[in-house]
Chains A and B, each alone.
Chain A
């Protein structure tokens, strides 16, 4: 494994699998409830202008999250 990749590094269209969540318990619960859990595969749909939030798809759900928060979600890229 090279440097750990985070969700914030991905570009629109990229697929990845969540490997680790660097968040506190409360946020972990929220992310889990929305489907962002270890082992789930995600796809980046689009990024907003001006370093705005990113839109990701987990299963059949679309989520938007800020880059700053996406950085705490470690992933392994899937080609």
Chain B
């Protein structure tokens, strides 16, 4: 089959001795090589990769004609283990023709990762040919493959050309049934829900009119679940951090110089601690996302949303990437690699940064909790998600003519699967590790810099107009004042460019407090229109540095990357300006 690592295997087998040659009945040149297998000197021929032996395409014709006109000792069939479901048909066709064949299941590593397990012994019994699982890329199983070919050569007799190959192939239906029989006995796919169950579930979940409302309902419930479970955990972590600060750190550093105390406790500990208290929520968030993704519901979302997305110049997969962006924009951007049309990819990558990612979510949870009543806060959060969608849609509409997409939309709809506990555990752990990585890389240096800027030059009042941060704020005030964003917060926005988590860390540092004291101070220092304007700006103004770096490496275009950031900055300013000024005009 094509793209199964056939050539890699051939090259390994033949070394550098391969030469192009002519073969009876075949019009194109084929690569062949004389190699020594056991006691036999044999000629190995690299046939084109084909899906079946009927001969509908050029390549299939080449293979068919070759088999019709040339005697063969052994046919080595090479398939991709991770796509065994579709590819086993070729082995069945070979069996039916009575070809002396061996089956090599390549890319074992990929199949392992996807949780696909193949019982080669059973498959071999059913197919009546030796089966070997290997990984040509990592060189695993290569020696066994050579041995298998050698022992096969010893027992098989040269098979004359099959002149009536075509007519001897069974109808596809029959092959289809055999495929199912072989697969069900020798291949373990990740736990599949019974087929009738998938069909029944799909009747509801993919209903023409109810499908979308149900999808958004499910998403809403997931979010409720995350906060229901996450909020107590978050409080717990905050409480623990407070205890450590009060009973351990304060006594230790009580006699140290004021600046050191300030830097270590008010700066690093409060800053990183405030961010760390969100880790439980973020881990839960990714766990829930993983469930939705691994069950196969996201592919259903692509089906449901494609019609609407096509009107925006996007497709169903773009919507899935947008949802993935709610976790983190970086993997979502990388996920667009499955798109072949560059225009579609660029347009999708342009809208992904507007996805309200989990880092921005922390900022919003924090601020809404400080400024809105517990009954209002979820609504405010929900409105920010709507804004996230609205800005993405608006951006797609503006730019869809520039990036015109003609890519066909064909996608496999996987059956519903139960995610395994192992998969989920891995995801959760990955998130904790990811946080620790970001904490050491960006967040600590970010909060230290914010602390330095708000406390230097020496002797100035904290975050006052005389500090460096104050000067910076002054510089930006003509831009930020019309948005209702206080000068003190300018510094948080500047560092939010690096990573959004720093925004809350920075708030803790700017106000020199954490926990409930910080929340109280925030509520005191701004009204709700200013807070909402600040959140709108934070949502839209720019994704984090990692996202921009990913965008640049994925698009391989500086112009595109700069354009994207410029567009989001301009859009953020306009949206915040319109919101804040109209709220003021309306008397709020």
Contact = CB atoms under 8 A, between A and B. Distances in A.
Nearest to B212: A49
Contacts of B208: 46-49
Nearest to A23: B408
Given A60-B85, A64-B411, A41 B306 contact: no
A37 B173 CA distance: 13
B413 A62 contact: yes
B86 interface: yes
Nearest to A73: B410
Given A46-B206, A48-B303, A60-B180, A66 B413 contact: no
A63 B415 CA distance: 11
Interface stretch (B6-14, B50-58, B155-163): B50-58
B171 to A, nearest CB: 8
Given A50-B307, A55-B303, A60-B180, A33 B173 contact: no
Nearest to A20: B56
Contacts of A41: 172-173
A52 B306 contact: yes
Nearest to B340: A26
Contacts of A53: 303, 306-307, 316, 409
B456 to A, nearest CB: 58
Contacts of A38: 54, 56
Given A48-B306, A49-B209, A50-B307, A66 B415 contact: no
Interface in A39-65: 39-41, 45-53, 55, 59-65
Given A41-B173, A66-B306, A33 B51 contact: yes
Contacts of A27: 408, 410
Nearest to B83: A33
A25 to B, nearest CB: 9
B67 interface: no
Interface in B177-227: 179-180, 202, 206, 208-209, 211
Contacts of B172: 39-41
A63 B299 CA distance: 10
Of residues B299, B302, B412, which shows the largest number of chain A Cβ atoms within 10 Å of its Cβ?
B412
A34 B2 CA distance: 12
The size bracket of the interface on B is 35 or more
Contact of B56 (A37, A64, A65): A37
A52 B409 contact: no
Nearest to A60: B180
A39 B54 contact: yes
Contacts of B211: 48-49
B308 interface: yes
Contacts of A61: 85-86, 412
A35 B307 CA distance: 24
A37 B52 contact: yes
B120 to A, nearest CB: 21
Contacts of A69: 408-410
Contact of B310 (A26, A30, A37, A66): A66
Given A39-B172, A48-B306, A65 B409 contact: yes
Interface in B363-379: none
A65 to B, nearest CB: 4
B304 interface: yes
B412 A63 contact: yes
Contacts of B408: 23, 27, 65-66, 68-69
A38 B55 CA distance: 10
Question: What 7 A-B pairs come out closest when comparing CB atoms?
Answer: A52-B307, A49-B208, A62-B413, A69-B408, A50-B307, A66-B409, A65-B410
30 contacts: A23-B408, A29-B2, A32-B57, A33-B51, A33-B83, A37-B51, A38-B54, A38-B56, A40-B172, A45-B202, A46-B206, A46-B208, A47-B208, A48-B208, A48-B211, A52-B303, A52-B306, A53-B303, A60-B85, A60-B179, A60-B180, A62-B413, A62-B414, A63-B413, A64-B409, A64-B413, A65-B409, A65-B410, A66-B306, A68-B408
Given A48-B306, A66-B310, 17 more contacts: A30-B410, A33-B3, A33-B86, A34-B412, A37-B51, A48-B211, A48-B304, A48-B307, A49-B211, A52-B303, A53-B307, A55-B413, A60-B176, A62-B413, A63-B411, A64-B299, A66-B410
